[in-house]
Structure 1
């Protein structure tokens, strides 16, 4: 639920030549590191589902950092962003799941966000006049 969507998002963004085992391992380490103190105290294995968007961005950022470390990321924007962070380290660095908060924040900007109301849905459609009328109560989807 957490790892594979983050791998997909990270791959779409940084466009690696291929996905390596160590990139998957870095995402897995980031998932293990993502538990907050409350989740650890409750003995949970995974972050609460309410945090899925936050954690997904973090995991995708860890993927991007590892792809840059391995020199397989091809999108210059993400390469530059990861390399300019304090997390950037040599190509030989073992995957640790670390990421720069700046990279995670930028990943969030590219994530899909569902509409909460009919008005938000209409505003998000580029050519709404071509779409059939959608009816709902109170404008909620």
Structure 2
């Protein structure tokens, strides 16, 4: 079962404490809860509410862009031409990803009906800075439990 990370609980506690202090200051009452531990315990309870727990699980486990692909599967790709360029361009989107697979020690890319070695594929793209977004396979529908 999913458990929110300690860092996430502390972040929520800080935000909640700041919200409470700002509301108390605007109502001209003295803030009385300055102990972060109190807000951490309260935030942990809040994080365990079913709707919030599911939202946090989705948030914390969402795929993230990475510098190198770390496993076989489908990937979206974005790239930029130089280190000075601020703009990243989507080369292969989530809707039309490339598939990576390994044969022996070599990594291959399957894209647009073609198969090529990863390093030749990157050279063909002509970009020096590439990021990868792993796209997990959808879980099969299990029906109502």
Task: Please state which structure has a larger fraction of its residues in strand.
Answer: 2
Asked if Structure 1 and Structure 2 have the same fold, meaning a TM-score greater than 0.5 normalized by the shorter chain, the answer is: no
Of the two structures, which has the highest relative contact order with CA contacts closer than 8 Å and spacing of 6 or more?
1
TM-score norm. by structure 1 comes to 0.31
Task: Please state which structure has a larger fraction of its residues in helix.
Answer: 1
